[in-house]
Every structure is written in C-alpha cells, then in structure tokens.
Amino acid sequence: MPSQSIDLPQGTLDLLILRTLSLEPLHGWAVSERIQQISSDVLRVQQGSLYPALHRLERRGWIKARWGTSQNNRRAKFYEITKAGRRELEIEQHAWQKLTAAVSQILETA
Amino acid sequence: MLLHDLLFRLRTLMRHAATENELDDELRFHLERQTDKYVRSGMKEAEAVRRARLEFGGLDQVKDECREVRGVSFVETLVQDLHYTARTLLHSPAFTACAVLTLALGIGANTAIFSVVDQVLLNPLPYPNPQELLAARGNDSLPNLEDIQRQTNSFVSSGGINIEPMDFTGTGEPVRVHGAYVDAGLFATLGVQPMLGRWISADEDVKGGPRNVVLTYPFWRDFLGHDPSVLGKAIRLSDNSYTVIGVMPKDFTLPRELADVFVSLWVAYPDAAAERDVHFMHTYWRLKPGVPLAQAQAEIAQVDHRLAEAFPDSERERGTVLIPLHEWLVGDVRPALLILFGAVALVLLIACANFAMLLMARAVARQRELVIRASLGARNGRLIRQRLTESTLLALVGGAAGLMAAKAGTTLLLALKPAELRHLNAIPMDARVFMFVFAISLLTGLLFGLLPAWSASRGDIAEALRENARTTATGVSRRPLRSFLVTAELALALILLAGAGLLIKGFLRLRSVNPGFNPANVITMYLQLPGTRYPQIPMQTNFRRELLARINSFPGVEAAMITDLPLAGNYVGHRVVVDGQATRAVGTEPVVQTLSVMGDYYGIMQIPLRSGRDFSAMDRERQPRVAIVNEAFVRQLLPGQNPIGTRIDWTRSSEPHVWMTIIGVAGDVKHSGLNQPVDPAVYAPFSQNDEAWRKFMTLVIRSRVPVASLVEDVKKQVWSMDSQIPVSGIQSMDDLVAMSVAQERFNMLLLVSFAALAVALAGVGIYGMVAYRVNQRTHEIGVYMALGAQHRDVLRLAMKDGVKLGLLGIGLGLTGAIAITRVMVSVLFEVKPTDPAILIGVALLLAAVTMLACYIPARRALSIDPMTALRSE
C-alpha cells in the first residue's frame, strides 16, 4: 500500500459507494477494495466508517441489501443500488463536478 | 421516503435478534476477507489477523454506529442498558438500598408536603367557576347584605351564613349540632345543587315562612340512616319541627364553616334577621362573569357610604372589603406552607447530593470495568448514557418508595393538622401528586446522575488507567465536585437547622406565655338552653343555679360557669360607656369583651384578683349591678384612676343607663390567643344578666377525681333537670391551650423533622466522604504509620479534609441562614430571624455532628496495619 494514500473528505464516501455499486452489486469488503483499486490506491476507505455509511444508505432507500454467496463460496451481504439511488447518484455527481470545477478554477486563477 | 424509513425502522425493530446476527456476520466476513488478503500477500496468519483488526478500528464502536444509523438504537440500547443496570444493581444490594433509601426519604418528605400544598393551595375550590367567588372580610347583617345586593350590578348573587348550635332531639340522646342560619341567596352563590330535593327558595326565606331544613350528607347518614324517602319528613331542632326539603351532596363543604343543617335565618330567627346593627354573618358573593374585582369593590363602597349616612349610629364604621374566596381561605396558611415546602426542598437537595456522592463512589469502584469497556471501543456517550440509565432507574425506584413514605407521612400530617387546615380531611394522592413525584424523580436521576457521570467521563482512558495504577492518586479529578457537594450539604443542613431552632424558640416562648389562668385539672362543657323552654332570664338563672349546686355537691369537685372560655375563639363584644367620662360620638365608643359568670370562676381558673372583691352570693337579681374588669380595661379606659367604684354601662340607644359598679379588677387573661394582645374585658354575674339571648354557658370544673367518670355524672345531672339539653364541647382546659397553638406546633414539628432528616443526611454524606478517603489512602496512611506517626497524627490526617469542608459548609450556611430566615418573620413569635443564640447554637450542634461523622470513619484508619497496606501495592 502506498504511503501517499489520503483519507476521504467528509461526505464523499456516500458518493463513492453509490458510484461503485452502480456498476454491480458488491459486498462491503469488495466496495472498499474497489474504491482503493480504481483510485490507484490513492484513496483509502476507513473500514470502520464504511459499514455505518452502507447502513445509512440502505435506510435512505438508495441501496438495498440481500444475502448471497461470495466468490469463495461464503455467505455475504451484497448491496445493490436502487432507482432512487441512481437518481441520487446523478444529483450528487453533478454537484461534485460543479464543486471541483469551481475549486480548481479558483486554484488556477487566484 | 418517509414511509420507507418507517418500515425500515420497524423491520429492524421487529427483527431485532436477526439484525444483530446479520451485523455480526457482515463484519466478521469483512475481517476474514481482509485477513485472507494479507495472508495471500505473504503475511503470517497471526500478524494478518492483528493487522486486519487494527485497520478496522473498534468493533463495538462500529456496531454502535451501525445500530445508530439504522435508527432503532435508542430503544434497543435503552432496553440493553436497563437490563445491564438491573443486573449490576442487584449485584450490589447495599449500594442500591442506600441510594433508594436516601431518595425515598427526600422525595417522600417532598411529596407529603406537596400533596398538602396541592390540596390546600392549588386545588380549585369545590364550586363551579370558583374564580368568580368572593368573600367579605369581616361580618355583616342580613339587612345590609340585602341592601347591597339590591343596589349593585356587579354580582350574580350573594349570600350570608351564621353558624349557631342547635339541639337535635328525637332520636336517642339529645345532640348539639351545627345549625347554619342562611339566606336563600347563599346556595345560588356557591352554585351547588342538593343531591336530593331542593334548596330553600326565595319566597320561603321570609319572616313567618315555612320551617324547612336542608341536611348535609353526614347528618343524613349518621342520624337518619341514609333514609332515601326523607324528603317531607319532620325533624326536631331546638324544640321546633322542621320539614326536610333537601340533602346536600356527599362532597359538599362550606367554604370555612362547619354545618350539619341549613335553615332560613328569616324563618328560624326572625329577630336576628331584622337586626341591621348586629353584624354576625359571613357573606359570600359571586361576581358577574367579566366584572373585575376593583369595579365591584368601587360599587360596593358607594352603597357602604349610603348605608353609613342612612344609619350613622350603627353603620358608620362598617365597610365591605371583598377578597377572592380562595385568597380568604388560604391566605393565613400560605406563608407557613410555602416555608415548609421550601424547607423540604432543601432536604431533597441534600438527599440528592448524597445520591450523587454514592454514584461517584460507585463509579470509582467500577473504574477498572469502565476503563476496559472504554478501551474495547465503547464511546464516552454510551458510557454516560448507561450511567444515566442507572441513576434514573434508581431515582424512579426511590420515587416509588418515596410515594409510599409520603402516604405514611400524610397520615401523620393529618393527625397534626392545625385548625386552619380543618377542612383537610383527607390528602388524596391525585394525578398531580403522581406527576410531581415522577418529574422530581426523573429530574433527580438525570441531573444528579449527570454530575458524576460527566465528571467521570472527562478524563481520557490513559489518565484513568494511570490513576488506576496508583491508588493514592485515584479520584483526584473528582475531588472538587465531591468537596462541593459535602460543603453544600452542610450549608443547607445548617439553614434548615437554624429555621427549626428559631421555630422551637418561638414555640417555647409562646408556650411560656402566661395565659392568665391555670389550665391544669380543669374540664369544660358547653350547654345551651333552648329558647323555646327558657325564654325568660329568671328561668335561665334558676337552671344555672340549680345545676351548679348539684355539681358542686360532688365530693372533690368545684364548678363555675362562664359564657365564653378563653382561647375558645368567641366572645360577645359590646360598646361601653364610662360614667363621668366625656361622651363620645355614637358608634366610636370603645368595644370590650363581655363575659357573664356564675360561681367561683376566678378561684377555679386561678385568675388572680388584683384589687377589690369577687362577686358574692349577694350580687344577684334586683341588687345593684356590679362588674369586674380586667387590667387591660383599667390600662386603656381608666388610666391612672382607681377603677373600684367607677360606673360603666353598655351603650344603649333608647333606655336610660342602668349603671354597673366596678367592684374588682381581675388579672389579664389571654382570651384570643397566647400570641394576641389582651383586650379590655368586663365580667358580670349571670344572675344580673339582662340579655335573654345569653342562653349559652360553659361549665368549668376543677376536680381531684378522674375526669372521665365526672363527665358522665355531669351529663346525668343536666339530663335529670332537662333531658333535651345536649352537653357538648367536652374538653380539658389543657387541650384548649394546646389547640390554640396547634398551627405553631405543626410548623415547628415539621421543620424540626426536616432539619433532623437534613442533619442525618448531611452527616451520612460527610461520613461517606471521609470513609472513602481513608479507604483510598490506605497506602499513604500505612507509609505514614510505618514512618512512626502517632495515632493523633493519623486521626488528624484522616479527619482534616472532612472537618475543613464541614466548617466551610457551616460558615456558608450561617451566611445563608441570615439571608434566608428573614422569610420566616410571619411565623415566628417574639424571636428575631437572626437570633444570635440560635444561630450559634445550631452551628455548634452541626459542628459536633460533623466531628462525629468524621471521627467514626477516621478511627478506622488507626486499625490499618502498615505492613499489609504497603504489601497491597
């Protein structure tokens, strides 16, 4: 693991989870692995905060959970994005892009 | 969205066990996968497990957070905490019992007093729209009342009532009952309908109207056996036959009077009804809705003015002052009740301080457990919540126990109640009392549980662990709070003690007031001659003379009679004229008490004659009229003169004066109360009485034989002369004196018990603190002793802190007492609220208690074996 990894800014974890799950249903461990992989090991998910976030999203109805079998034949809890979740993802993604664009514009010009 | 949320929460709640298991499975799965990953990357199994765990963080904490976001955690954790708390409390029965008992005492005392306050001060009067009801300060006559009612617009109605004894005859022994002479307006004013039948109507309430009577429920129950067909039947009251037309409901009471039967004053006593200038009726008024009191008062003042002009002789000095009925009823007891309520609140504060200290001591004892749980990931908030659950559970149990204590307490209060609270026949535990107990328990549990919980959670884990390693340093962070609580307890206890001391001193002062007579071994009985059979004075005089002669013939018995006894609350007042003094304007002559006597009244009551002579057998009918006056009469009306031989008479509008000659001066008697000034009084012989309405008398009998047997013998003598005369008001003079100070004794006893409770609780508090300190410093004391410290030094070391805090508390308490006892002025008799002797006395007493409470646990320090103490490290 590279020592340069950074912790997630507040509030972005939900967005990343939704994005990750929009590709395929995954269990918790896989979600954290996937985020790490895709970000080329730059982003590190605090594993302790992953599960409360998953449960929160589930309660809001943006993802739903079902028990299935993992690759190594173990019982695991898989999370799957819902329609409401996809809508939320779009909104959040849009907001994020606007935010980052604005922030980088300031950083470049100011 | 909302629906989804709700269903989600519900599902989680319903599937509680399953959800918990799923959470466990999910997290375990995660840890296993992570461990796998590390093992595959070449890590050793044990190292991989450790690494995965470390990365994950506190497992309990994550679980807590997951439960929390699922939104059911509150109920769930509460159930968990309650379960856990109940288990741990049952494991330490001594602690639990102490905490519950402490709170039960504090809450119980508060609840008992609150239920009295609730019943007396807060409960609305048992009449419809009670806020519209007014009472007049002072009495009035029926003609005046009728004039005012006619000439004002502010009132829906008004009514008057006067209670006179009536003889109820016809069923067994004659009974003296309380007859209420009323007008028809009274019940319209109070707004209460009879349970059976009807009220006296306005057209019956006239001179010569039908003799109708309305009964109270207790009279109907006790004397007529609940007869449901009583309406229309006749009963005999004071030798007249009355037809029952109504029965009042069971819970009906008059505002202040005690009555058994109601009759129309115009019908039953027309002469008194017509008398404008004899003001003997309590009057009640009902305002029209929306009319302010000030407006009604202004209107009534105009009528008063007109009455004064129309009847200058008698009505010039009268005036009607209206006050809200509730105010009139409770105004006298309110200050005392509020002081008691304040005092009992201080007791609760002390109990709460002890409760908090108990919780703190327990927290320290359980520190290792708490540290372990904290290091396993339990968050501070969770730990605080658990401890709050514990303190609140304890407080609620304490409150429940307090409720039972209060039940017993109110029974005691009822037994002690003074005359001012005589309407208080029961102190029901109503919903308000339950709310009070619940609120006070909850508040106690949360507030005083939060204090120590908060103070314990402040320190971080590392600090707590370090503290735990060296017992000598344990609790350093909690010392300020504990010291504060102990100091506060003693200060509060001192304030209560000062209040109690002041009341005791005032009460002793009051009891040491010389009433002017010797109450010992004197028994009294009240008789009234029925006007129908004894209409003329000679018949009355013969009866009296014969009865006294018969009783005086009993061996070892001396008897006399007087119209109204001292301290019994009654006298007849007359305006008096002194022969030879400048004539005063009509209606401004001084008022004096007039008392008729027969027999050796002064000898039996042991009232000294200051000068002149006593009445003799010669001072009788058709002889020159004579009188004995008291010293106050001489002081106020004949200053600097020799009263003997001076002639006096009542003011008379028509007849010429028939002068009474003063033949003697009797010592002053406290007629209206031990704390009341003595008013001028005139005694005259019954045999020279010229007022036929003085049909009543009280026997005073001094006896060397046991009183109980005497009462029956006297009754037999009365009934052998006239079987229709009730004998009532049988009481000893000692009881009468005691009853006259019942309110003061009530206040004193209650405040003294609260103070005793406070001192005991504060003593336990400081004892607990010193014992705790000794326990914590075993090691230190052991070292000290090993170094050769003497017993005295060890005692000093152990007691130092407790004594210092105690003295500080006593000092603060003294300051507080000086500031606070001022509110007691109204209930103190001849004692200043800052009486130095009392303040110093109670400070010394409390200091002694403090020393004792420190000494007992400190002595335990002496038994510490230095070697054991050192080895235990």
Interchain contact, B26 vs A77, CB within 8 Å: yes
How many Å apart are CA B659 and CA B514, to the nearest integer?
32
Helix (H, G, I), strand (E, B) or coil at B592: strand
Check if B8 contacts A (Cβ < 8 Å).
Answer: yes
List Cβ neighbours of B313 (8 Å cut-off, separation of 6 or more). B277, B586, B587, B653
Question: How far apart (Å, rounded) are the C-alpha atoms in residues B163 and B284?
Answer: 14
From B22, which residue of chain A is nearest by alpha-carbon distance?
Answer: A77
Asked if B55 and A52 come within 8 Å (Cβ–Cβ), the reply is: no
Q: What's the pLDDT at B611?
A: 94
Residue B755 phi/psi, 5-degree rounding, is -65, -40
User: Which of B285, B319, B315 has the alpha carbon at shortest distance from B302?
Assistant: B319
Q: Is the pTM of this model over 0.80?
A: no
Residue B578 backbone dihedrals phi, psi, to 5 degrees: -105, 125
Say if residue B795's pLDDT is above 50.
Answer: yes
Contact A29 B34 (CB under 8 A): yes
Spatial distance between the Cα atoms of B436 and B447, rounded to a whole number of angstroms = 16
* Beta carbons of B62 and A51 less than 8 angstroms apart: yes
Q: What is the dihedral of CA B330, B334, B340, B341, to 10 degrees?
A: 90
pLDDT in tens, A5-44: 666 666 788 888 999 999 889 888 888 888 888 877 777 7
The angle that helices B742-776 and B380-416 make with each other, rounded to 10 degrees, is 150
| Strands across the sheet containing A63-69 | A26-27, A75-81, A63-69
Which SS3 state, helix, strand or coil, does residue B149 take?
helix
Predicted local confidence at residue A5, as pLDDT: 64
| Average pLDDT estimate for B199-218 | 93
Chain A, nearest residue to B52 by Cα: A47
Largest CA distance in chain A: 55
Residue-wise pLDDT tens digits, B676-727: 899 999 999 999 988 887 888 999 999 887 777 788 889 899 989 988 888 8
Which of B9, B61, B69 is nearest residue A56 as measured by Cβ atoms?
A: B69
Residue A1 in any domain: the answer is: no
pLDDT, position B233: 93
CA distance B489 to B486: 5
Residue A91 resides in a domain: yes
* pLDDT above 80 (res B452): no
Are residues B29 and A48, on separate chains, in Cβ contact within 8 Å? no
Closest CA to B189 of B220, B243, B149, B151: B149
CB-CB under 8 Å, A52 with B62: yes
Measured from the Cβ of residue B55, the count of other Cβ atoms closer than 10 Å reads: 15
What are the pLDDT digits (tens) for B172-198? 778 888 899 999 999 889 998 999 999
Q: What angle do CA B672, B676, B680 make, to 5 degrees?
A: 65
pLDDT at B425: 65
**Over 70: is that where the pLDDT of B150 sits?**
yes
Are B328 and B342 spatial neighbours (Cβ–Cβ below 8 Å)? Answer: no
User: Rounded to the nearest 5°, which phi and psi values hold at B551?
Assistant: -70, -40
Per 3-state DSSP, what percentage of chain A is helix, strand, and coil (rounded to 5)? Answer: 55, 20, 25
Residues 6+ apart with CB under 8 A from B818: B834, B839
Owner of token pair 């969205």: B1
B125 SS3 class: coil
B29/A28 CB distance under 8 A: yes
Q: HSE-up of A104 (CA within 13 Å, CB side)?
A: 5
Within a domain: residue A69? Answer: yes
Q: From A50, which residue of chain B is nearest by alpha-carbon distance?
A: B62
Per domain, the residue ranges of chain B are: 2-71, 141-319, 334-512+742-871, 530-724
CA distance B793 to chain A (A): 56
Tens of pLDDT, residues B631-668: 999 999 999 889 999 999 988 766 778 899 999 999 99
DSSP string, B599-668: SSHHHHHTPPEEEE----TTS-TTS--EEEEEHHHHHHHSTTS--TT-EEEE--SSSPP-PEEEEEEEPP
Could you tell me the residue range of the domain that residue A45 belongs to? 6-109
Amino acid B101 reads: L
Q: CB-based contact (8 Å) between B377 and chain A?
A: no
pLDDT of B746 reads: 85
Phi, psi at B232, each rounded to 5°: 90, -15
Q: Give residue for tokens 């200091």.
A: B847
pLDDT at B525: 92
Predicted confidence (pLDDT) per residue in B124-138, tens digit: 888 999 999 999 987
The pLDDT, as a whole number, for residue B6 is: 67
How much is the pLDDT for B671?
A: 92
What per-residue confidence (pLDDT) applies to A4? Answer: 58
What pLDDT does B476 receive? 42
Contact B114, B341 (CB under 8 A): yes
DSSP A80-97: EE-HHHHHHHHHHHHHHH
pLDDT at B462: 46
pLDDT of res. B634? 95
Closest Cα in chain B to A60: B5
Phi-psi region of B574 (alpha: psi -120 to 50; beta: other; left: phi over 0): beta
Nearest Cα of chain A lies from the Cα of B65 at a distance, in angstroms, of 6
Rounded Cα gap, residues B184 and B186, in angstroms: 6
- Look at A60 and B22 and tell me if their CB atoms are within 8 Å: no
Mean pLDDT value of segment B729-739: 88
Which of A52-61, B86-95, B232-241 has the highest average model confidence (pLDDT)?
Answer: B232-241
The rounded distance, in Å, linking the Cα atoms of B826 and A29 is: 77
Query: What is the number of other CB atoms lying within 10 angstroms of the CB of residue B426?
Result: 8
Cα B629 to Cα B294, B601, B607, B679, B680, distances in angstroms:
43, 14, 12, 11, 8
Q: Judging by DSSP bridges, how do beta strands A6-7 and A43-44 pair with one another?
A: parallel
| Among the partner residues A47, A55, A70, nearest to B66 by beta-carbon distance | A55
Residue B24, chain A, CB below 8 Å: the answer is no
What average pLDDT score do residues B622-629 get?
94
On the question of pLDDT at B763 being above 50, the answer is: yes
Tell me the per-residue pLDDT of B363-389, one tens digit each, with 9 for 90 and over: 777 776 777 777 766 666 777 777 788
- Work out the average pLDDT over A62-90: 87
- pLDDT tens digit sequence for B534-569: 888 999 999 999 999 999 999 889 999 999 999 987
- B68 close contact with A: CB closer than 8 A: yes
Tell me what the mean pLDDT of segment B462-488 comes to: 60
CATH number for A43:
1.10.10.10
**Is residue B308 predicted with pLDDT exceeding 60?**
yes
Question: Between A28, A55, A72, which is nearest B70 by CB?
Answer: A55
When CB atoms are compared, the residue of B25, B56, B65 closest to A52 is B65
B22:A77 CB<8 A: yes
Residue A51: closest C-alpha in chain B = B66
C-alpha distance from B8 to closest chain A C-alpha (Å): 6
Instruction: Report whether B77 contacts B382 (CB < 8 A).
Output: yes
Share of chain B above pLDDT 70, in %: 91
Q: Which helix (H) or strand (E) holds B848?
A: helix B836-862
Q: Where are the alpha helices (DSSP H) in B777-790?
A: 778-786
Quote the CA–CA distance of B45 and A37 in Å, as a whole number: 24
What ipTM did this prediction achieve?
0.86
Which residues is B630 bridged to in the sheet?
A: B666
The DSSP-derived string for B806-839 is HHHHHHHHHHHHHHHGGGGGGG-SS--TT-HHHH
The residue with greater pLDDT, B429 or B523, is B523
Give dist(CA B733, CA B520) in Å, integer: 7
pLDDT at residue B490 above 70?
yes
Is the pLDDT at B601 greater than 80? The verdict is yes
The CA distance from B42 to the nearest CA of chain A, in Å, is 14
pLDDT band at residue A67 using 50, 70 and 90 as cut-offs: confident
Judged against a pLDDT cut of 50, whether residue B734 lies above it is answered with yes
Substitution target in A35, A59, A63, A74 with the highest count of B β-carbons within 10 Å is A59
List the single residue in B29, B57, B65 with the smallest CB-CB distance to A47: B57
- C-alpha B310/C-alpha B300 separation (Å) is 15
Residue B220 has pLDDT above 50, yes or no: yes
Write out the two tokens for B607.
């009232």
**Number of domains forming the structure of chain A:** 1
CA B205 centroid distance within chain: 40
Is B15 an 8 Å CB contact of chain A? no
**Under an 8 Å CB criterion, which residues of A touch B?**
27-29, 46-49, 51-52, 55-56, 58-61, 67, 70, 72, 74-77
Position B76 confidence tier, pLDDT thresholds 50, 70, 90: low
Closest CA to B544 of B479, B599, B608: B599
Closest by CA position to B505, among listed B207, B842, B250: B842
How many Å apart are CA B773 and CA B799, to the nearest integer? 9
Is residue B460 over pLDDT 60?
A: no
pLDDT confidence of residue B644? 95
User: B71 to chain A: nearest residue by CA?
Assistant: A59
Residue B739 scores a pLDDT above 90: no
Tell me which of A54, A56, A73 to substitute to probe the interface with B (most B C-beta atoms closer than 10 Å). Answer: A56
Instruction: Identify which of B349, B356, B384 has the alpha carbon closest to the alpha carbon of residue B482.
Output: B356
Taking the Cβ of residue B250 and every Cβ of chain A, the question of whether any pair is shorter than 8 Å is answered with no
The DSSP annotation for B373-387 comes to HHHTT--HHHHHHHH
A58 contacts B26? CB cut-off 8 A: no
**Average pLDDT of chain B to the nearest whole number:** 85
Task: Identify the residue among B32, B33, B61 best suited for mutation to test binding to A, counting A beta carbons within 10 A and taking the highest.
Answer: B33
d(CA A58, CA A82): 9
